[in-house]
Amino acid sequence: MSTAISSTLQWARTDLSRYPEIVVPPPGPVSNDYHRRCTKYFKGLSGQVKLFPVAFESGEACTLTDVDGNKYIDFSSGIYVTTLGHCHPKVSEAVAKYAGQLMNAHDFTTPIKTRLVERLAEVLPGDLSGFQFYDAGTAAVEAGMRVLRAASGRNEMISCYYDFHGKTYGAVSLAQIRSQVYGRVRAPGSHLVPRPDTYRPEWTKDDGSIDTDRYIAFYDQYIDRATVGDVAGFVLEPIQGWGGSIMPPDDFFPKLRKYCDENGILLMADEVLTGWGRTGKWLCLEHWGVVPDVVSIGKGFGNGFPVTCVAVREPHKESFEKISASSSYGGNPMACAAALASTEVIEEENLLDYCLALGEHCTKILAGMKERHPMIGDVRCKGALMGIELVKDRQTKEPFTKAGEFVYQHAFRNGLAWIPAGHILRMSPPIVMDFDTAAKGLEIIEEAIGAAEKALM
C-alpha cells in the first residue's frame, strides 16, 4: 500500500510543530465576547459548542485558530466535513473561479456539472450512475427516500436504532424522536430495528461472537408481523456517526444485501458522513464489497462547500423523473466545482490508500490507550473515523457520560478541536493529517482520560 503524498499537499505539513499553541486559556475573553454577542440572537447551538464556546477565526489544513490567537489541532474536520483539511488550495480556487463566473443556473446543464457526473460514474462502485445534487445531507436523504418509493412502488421504511439521517420530518422519523416539535410521532410507515454493535450486541453465539444471522432473522419476522407488507427500502448508515462511531461486524452488510435482494427490498446507504474518503474508500460499503441501490453522499463531498449527492443504480435512475428531484441550490456551478476538485485531489494524492494507512497507525495507538486506561471500554477505527467509548466499569459497560464531557473539555483546553457524543468520544481528523500530528492529538486525548480517571473514578 502506497502512502506517498505528493508535493502539492505539503501545505498540510508546514509548521505543525507549533500546534497546539495555547496563549490564552480557552475559551478566551475575545471568544467569550463574540459568543455572548452572537448568542443574543443566534439560538439552537450544538452540544459541542455549548460545552466549549470558542469562536474560531481561521483554519488551514489540519489546524484551527481562534479569535484569541490559540492554535488547535483539528480532530473534527468541521464535524466530518473538511476531509482534505481547511481551505485546500485546489478546492478554494475552484469555488472562487465560479463565484466570479456563474454562481447559479438552477438545474440547467453546465460544463462543470457534466464533468462532475462523468467522473462520479467512473469512481463509484458497480452501476451507480444516476445522480442529483443538493445542498444538505438531510435533503439528499429525503430525496433518496423518494427514489426508494418511486422505484419500488412501496412506502414503508426500515431503519436502525441510533442511526442519524437528518433533521427534517422524514429523516428524523428514521431515527429516535425526542422532540415535541414532531409530536413524538414518526412519519407513517417508519420502522426501527436493532443493528449489530460489535461492543454492545443484542445477540451472540455460544463463542461470544455476534450472531448476525439472528439480526437478519429478526428483520424477516418484524417485516412479516409489524409492517403492512409495503416496505420500499432499508435505510442505514454504514458506520453510525451520532451513535458513536459504531462499527458493524464484517458479515453484516453482505448478509443484509442478500436479504434485501431475496425479498425485493431496496438498500439505501446514508454515506453523508462516511463517504468520500473518510474511511479510506469512496463509499464505506466498499469495505464489505456491497453496492447499495441508493446512496446519499455529503459532508466531505465538497470539503466544506455545501454540496451533497444522491446516487442510484442504473435500473433506478429514471425514478428521479418521478420525484420532482431538482432544487434551487443543488448542482450550482460553485458546488460542482468544489465536489469535482475534492474528487480530483483524492485521486491525485492517493488519499484513499493514505487514509487506510493513517487508520492502521491510529488503531495501534488506540489499542495501547485501551490497555493503559480502565475507563476505556472500547476503541474503534476505520480510516480517519474513530471512536473511544468510556465506561464506569468494563464488566457492566455502564456508560460514563460525565467522563466524556470532562475529557472533551480538558482536551479542548489543551488544543484539540473535536466532537463530543456523551460517553463516546468521536474523532474525524482530515485524511491528509500526518502520522505524527495524529499521534499528538491522541496523546492529548489520553492525557485527558488520565485526568478524568483521577478526578472521577
- Grid cell, residue 140, equals 439528499
**pLDDT value at 420 more than 90:** no
The whole-number pLDDT of residue 182 equals: 64
Distance CA 74, CA 90 (A): 20
Instruction: Give a three-class secondary structure readout of 22-59.
Output: CCCCCCCHHHHHHHHHHHCCCCCCCHHHHHCCCCEEEE
Q: What is the pLDDT of residues 249-280, one digit of tens each?
A: 999 999 999 999 999 999 999 999 999 999 99
- What is the model's pLDDT at position 1? 44
196-243 tens-digit pLDDT = 999 999 999 999 899 999 999 999 999 999 999 999 999 999 999 988
Homologous superfamily of 7-80+350-456: Aspartate Aminotransferase, domain 1 (3.90.1150.10)
Q: What b/e string do you get for 146-163 counting C-beta neighbours within 10 Å, with b at 16 or more?
A: bbbbbbbebbbbbbbebb
The pLDDT value given to residue 185: 78
> Are the beta carbons of 369 and 151 closer than 8 angstroms?
no
Q: Provide the residue ranges of all domains of the chain, joining segments of one domain with +.
A: 7-80+350-456, 89-348
HSE value, Cβ hemisphere, 13 Å, CA-based, for 263? 23
pLDDT surpassing 80 at residue 120: yes
**How far, rounded to the nearest angstrom, does the alpha carbon of residue 375 sit from its chain's CA centroid?**
25
Cβ(303)–Cβ(9) below 8 Å: no
List the CATH code of the domain at 89-348: 3.40.640.10
Please give the single-letter amino acid code of residue 340: L
Average pLDDT rounded to a whole number, residues 322-346 = 96
Q: How far apart, in Å, are the Cα atoms of 35 and each of 26, 193, 239?
A: 12, 40, 33
Closest residue by Cα to residue 150 from 168, 132, 162: 132
Place of cell 502512502: 3
Q: Answer for the pair 210, 198: CB distance below 8 angstroms, yes or no.
A: yes
How far apart are alpha carbons 343 and 188 in whole angstroms?
38
Residue 68 pLDDT exceeds 90: yes
Inter-CA distances, 79 with 105, 126, 159, 410, 434, Å: 29, 29, 23, 19, 19
Tell me, yes or no, if the pTM score tops 0.85. yes
Q: Which residues, 6 or more positions from 403, have their beta carbon under 8 angstroms from its beta carbon? A: 375, 390, 392, 423, 449, 452, 456
Average pLDDT over residues 55-80: 96
Q: Give pLDDT tens digits for 335-385.
A: 999 999 999 999 999 999 999 999 999 999 999 999 999 999 999 999 999
The mean per-residue pLDDT over the stretch 101-117 comes to 97
Distance from C-alpha of 186 to C-alpha of 30, rounded to nearest angstrom: 43
Q: Which three cell numbers stand for residue 49?
A: 459548542
